[in-house]
Chain A
Amino acid sequence: MVSVAILGAAGGIGQPLSLLLKLNTNVTKLNLYDIVNVPGVAKDVSHVATNSEVTSYLGPAQLAAAVTDIDLAIIPAGVPRKPGMTRDDLFKINASIVKGLVEAIAENSPKAFIGIISNPVNSTVPIAAEVLKAKGVYDPKRLFGVTTLDVVRASRFVRDIRPEIDSAGLRVPVVGGHSGNTIVPLLSLASTKVDLSQKEVEELTHRIQFGGDEVVQAKDGAGSATLSMAYAGSRFADSIIRALNGETVVEPTFIPLEADAEGAKEIRALGAGDLEFFAVPVELGREGTKRIVPLGSVTEFESAAIKVAAEALASNIATGVNFVKSSSA
């Protein structure tokens, strides 16, 4: 019995994400929340022949009900980027959206797992943490920024230059954050050894870091990644659901490092320093983050990239934390 709420279910990501989670036979209840259009989305998706029940919740008055008795909340709510915008430009709008949603979760399902998609993730996850702390329900093991798409892109982009590689089977750890140069793919630690020249490594790294921009540009004002993000979000949700059901699952994700202070030592030594949050490969269990999976040794190029990422991330995290601390209650 797993209940999942999608907050922002009628949006560009929310709709295909709702479909994918309706198709997930481990989900028993799907709560779809948004401020417009969600009755239609829920009705549509409710016709899919899987056993889960779908309920629509429309508008702030129904938010509390949407997040009552849920195991997992996935948050794609917010506005997407347009060409020329960075994820940071979205900040003001999305910060306040995420704050409000997490407040409701804290009040109604304080033990729920929270997966945040709303950008800029590097700041919205810290916002969520501050809200949960203020409400006295913070559990660093249950808060996640959904960075799965970076890892998905890493696998796929490697195949684009090495067509003999099976992209579904290739695992590339990605650490750091979820924007531009805070994204650090560790190609040297790919699950299948891939021989790449230094130039290829740099180009691939850059492409993975700016994969989101590639889609924003191709959509030419019509939005950012929705379908691939829905897939990544549903893959993340499925990992959480399987972990809740007792499986041991490894998923890359942006987490509070205190979720596993001991395990975090390695990434701290590699460059995360004393940052509160960092994306790492995480082993999930019923409690959420069970442990951070050790990485091993990285190349010089990767090591330098981690340090650059950490610096940019420090400022993104501070932006998020300051937003909450200076907002009125």
Chain B
Amino acid sequence: MVSVAILGAAGGIGQPLSLLLKLNTAVTRLSLYDLINVPGVAADVSHINTDSAVEYYIGQDQLNAALEGIDIVIIPAGVPRRPGMTRDDLFNINASIVRGLVEAIAESCPHAIIGVISNPVNSTVPIAAEVLKEKGVYDPKRLFGITTLDVVRASRFIRDIRPEIDTTTLRVPVVGGHSGNTIVPLISLAEPKIELSQKETEDVTHRIQFGGDEVVKAKDGAGSATLSMACAAARFADSVIRSFGGAAVIEPAFVPLAADSSGAESIRKLGAGDLEFFAVPVLLGKEGTSKILPIAGVSAYEAGAIKTAAAELKKNIDKGVHYTKNS
């Protein structure tokens, strides 16, 4: 019995995400929430012949009801980027949306696993943490920024330059944050091992870091990544669900390092320093983050990139924390 809520279910990401989670046979109940259009999305998705029940909740008044009895909350709500915008430009609008939603989660399903998609993740996850702390229900093991798409892009972009590689089995750890140069793919730690020249490493690293911009540009004002983001978020949700069932699942995610202080030592030494949050490969369990997996043997280039990422991420995190403390 797994109940999943999607907050922002009628949006560009929310709709295909609702479809993918309706197709996930481990989900027993799907709760779709949005400010508009969600009755139609729910009716549509409810016709799919999997056994889960679909409910919709529309408008602020129904938000708490949407969250009753929920095990996993995924939050795609918010506005997407337009060409020329950074994820930070979205901050003011999305910060306030995420804050309101997490307040309701704290009230109605404080033990739920929370997966935040709403950008800028580097700041909205800290906002979520502060709200949960204020409400006295904070559990660093149960809060995640969904960075799966960076790892998905890493695998796929490497295949683009090495077409003999099977992208479905290539695993590339990605650490840091979820925007531009805070994204640090650790290609030297890819499994199976791959050989790239330094130039190739730099080009593909840059492409992974700005993969989101690639889509924003191609959409030319019509939005940002929706379909690939939905796929990544569905994969994240599925990993959490499988870990509930006892499977040992490793998933990359942007987490509070307090979720596993001793596990976090290696990434702190590599450059995360005393940052409160960092994307790392996480071993999931019934409690959420069970362990942060150690990272060792990065290249000098990657070590440099981690430090650059950490410096940038510190500002993004502080902005999120500051926003909540001053509202």
Chain A residues in the interface with B (C-beta under 8 A): 15-16, 18-19, 22-23, 25, 37, 39-51, 149, 152-153, 155-157, 159, 166-168, 170, 211, 214-215, 218-220, 222-223, 225-228, 230-231
Q: Are B16 and A15 in contact (CB under 8 A)?
A: yes
- List the A side residues contacting B226 at CB < 8 Å: 15, 44
Q: Are A44 and B215 in contact (CB under 8 A)?
A: yes
- List the B side residues contacting A50 at CB < 8 Å: 167-168
**Complex A-B, nearest 9 residue pairs according to Cβ-Cβ distance, in ascending order:** A219-B40, A40-B219, A218-B43, A43-B218, A155-B49, A156-B49, A19-B227, A167-B49, A227-B19
Most buried by A among B19, B47, B153: B47
> Which label, helix, strand, loop or mixed, suits the secondary structure of the A interface?
helix
Number of interface residues of B (CB under 8 A): 46
- List the B side residues contacting A46 at CB < 8 Å: 156
| Other A-B pairs, 12, CB within 8 Å; known A149-B47, A155-B49, A222-B40 | A23-B231, A42-B218, A43-B219, A44-B225, A45-B228, A47-B211, A47-B214, A51-B168, A153-B49, A156-B46, A215-B47, A227-B19
Complex Cα distance, B219 from A279, in Å, reads 38
Complex Cα distance, B169 from A25, in Å, reads 12
If A155-B49, A214-B43, A227-B41 touch, does A19 touch B225 (CB 8 Å cutoff)?
A: no
Can you spell out 12 A-B residue pairs with CB atoms less than 8 angstroms apart?
Answer: A39-B220, A41-B219, A47-B157, A48-B156, A49-B155, A49-B159, A156-B49, A218-B39, A225-B47, A227-B16, A227-B48, A228-B19
Complex Cα distance, B40 from A48, in Å, reads 27
- List the B side residues contacting A15 at CB < 8 Å: 16, 226-227
Q: Are B15 and A16 in contact (CB under 8 A)?
A: yes
**B306 within 8 Å of A by Cβ?**
no
Task: Mark each residue of chain B from 37 to 62: 1 if its CB lies under 8 Å from any CB of chain A, else 0.
Answer: 10111111111111100000000000
Q: Are A219 and B43 in contact (CB under 8 A)?
A: yes
Chain A residue at minimum C-beta to C-beta distance from B218: A43
Q: B39 to nearest A CB, angstroms?
A: 5
Q: Are B42 and A218 in contact (CB under 8 A)?
A: yes
**B311 within 8 Å of A by Cβ?**
no
Complex Cα distance, B49 from A149, in Å, reads 9
**Residue in B22, B42, B47, B157 whose CB lies within 8 Å of A211:** B47
Chain A residue at minimum C-beta to C-beta distance from B230: A19
State which residues 165-221 of B face A: CB under 8 Å.
166-168, 170, 211, 214-215, 218-220
Q: Are A48 and B16 in contact (CB under 8 A)?
A: no
**B222 within 8 Å of A by Cβ?**
yes
Q: Are B223 and A40 in contact (CB under 8 A)?
A: yes
Complex Cα distance, B43 from A157, in Å, reads 12
**Residue in B42, B152, B222 whose CB lies within 8 Å of A40:** B222
Q: Are A39 and B166 in contact (CB under 8 A)?
A: no
Complex Cα distance, B49 from A157, in Å, reads 8
- List the A side residues contacting B41 at CB < 8 Å: 227
Chain B residue at minimum C-beta to C-beta distance from A153: B47
**Residue in B16, B48, B167 whose CB lies within 8 Å of A156:** B48
Q: B148 to nearest A CB, angstroms?
A: 10
Q: Are A51 and B167 in contact (CB under 8 A)?
A: yes
Chain A residue at minimum C-beta to C-beta distance from B25: A168
Q: Are B227 and A18 in contact (CB under 8 A)?
A: yes
**Residue in A42, A51, A227 whose CB lies within 8 Å of B15:** A227
